[in-house]
Amino acid sequence: MNYFNLINFSLPKQNSDYNIWADSIEFYCLMSKEGSVNPQQIIDRIFDENANDPQTAIKDVVTDDEIKLIESELDTPLYEDEIFDSHMTDSVFSDKIVSSVNSYFGHIKSRKSSFGTSYPFTITKENTLIFNSQLSEEQKVYTILLCSSLMRLATKSGVNRLGHHFEELCGPVFNALLPKNAKSYFFGSGSKSLRYDSIEGNFFDKIDQLCSLLHVRPNSNFTKNNAGIHNVGDGGIDWVGIYDFGDDCSSQPTFLGQCACGIDWIDKQFDANISKWKNYIEFSNSYQTYHFTPRNFRNEMLKWENPLQIYDVVLIDRYRLIKILANETGLSSLINDVYGKFLEEIQNDDNKIDYFA
């Protein structure tokens, strides 16, 4: 496969984040020949990946603090003559792994409720997850965003292409969030946007062009040498939106958009921070930052998983992306043009893996 390498597929390691586990289970279902998965199969897989050792396997689903708490409780018998041995520890750890996996499937059920008809899976009363073979456009978007959240499983070229695809997918979303008649520009270092004007060149030239559009000056310290004469990056910004009053004056409504697929998406919020960008540009007013991630950052109540991890940005996660793209009249064309080959690859039965062989 060109986008993903599934030969050595593994479930999350030493990570108890329920959204990461839910994504991995959904992907497991999506790319399996069976097209379905149940809790017992995931439990069996966890043990298989850890040599059937509960004391190793539990580290993949429970935090160190939780493990220490369980161990401390085992060291404190309820009765004076009660003695715990390693078999008891294994049994307690095994039960905890089972309960954790069941809780992940419970979270998946909440996704089905939250995403409604946009959700490309069915889940039975027995908690068997089944991938729908016939997808609506919104279900295709969910599938795309799910796969874009699992860069650890992608090939090197797959990581690069999925990142660029995601930047393109966020174009109409960014545009929808701008004031009427505002102008948007693709600023990223990836391939040129197919649908929007682009600010191109090396990083120094991009900043120079952006300053002209904003009718401001670069910072006096922003020289070619300081910027890096071989720097062809984007400084962490993929989209720029400007409402130009047409008077060639500064103080214009300005919007920056950044796209982040990787596991470091939280830290990448700081890439667009004014403390960084004031070193490049002498802004005359503050700007609004939209931070796009394909990840689902919601709990079972559809609230933020952890609002303390949102840093002075408008966060556009999987749920918001799907909601906005549902109103995009050219969604079908966008999906086919940008993700046509990708969807062919993941829907091709020859590329499916028999995880339970």
Question: pLDDT class for 85, splitting at 50, 70, 90?
Answer: low
CA triple 105-106-109, angle to 5 deg: 90
| 210 in Cβ contact with 240 (< 8 Å) | yes
192 or 347, which is more confident:
347
CA dihedral 198→203→209→212, nearest 10 degrees, is 140
Q: Confidence class of residue 8 from pLDDT cuts 50, 70 and 90?
A: confident
Residue matched to tokens 């499983």: 153
pLDDT of residue 89: 78
Q: How far apart are CA 354 and CA 332, in angstroms?
A: 31
Write down the pTM of the prediction.
Answer: 0.93
For the chain, domains (ranges, CATH) are 18-149 (no CATH), 156-326 (3.40.1350)
Determine the Cα–Cα distance for residues 169 and 184; give it in Å rounded to an integer: 14
* Model pLDDT for residues 289-339, shown as the tens digit of each residue: 999 999 999 999 999 999 999 999 999 999 999 999 999 999 999 999 999
Task: Give dist(CA 241, CA 226) in Å, integer.
Answer: 26
Could you give the CA distance from residue 70 to residue 92 in angstroms, rounded to a whole number?
8
Nearest to 292 by CA among 190, 137, 145, 114: 145
Banded model confidence at residue 90, pLDDT cuts 50, 70, 90 = confident
Q: What is the pLDDT of residue 354?
A: 84
Helices (H) and strands (E) in the chain, counts: 12, 9
As beta bridge partners, residue 304 has 298
Helix ranges, 215-317 (H): 224-227, 274-277
Statement: residue 254 has pLDDT above 80: yes
Percent of the chain with pLDDT over 70: 94
Burial class (CB in 10 A: 0-12, 13-18, 19+), 239: buried
**Average pLDDT of the segment spanning 280-292:** 97
Q: What are phi and psi of 114, to 5 degrees?
A: -70, -45
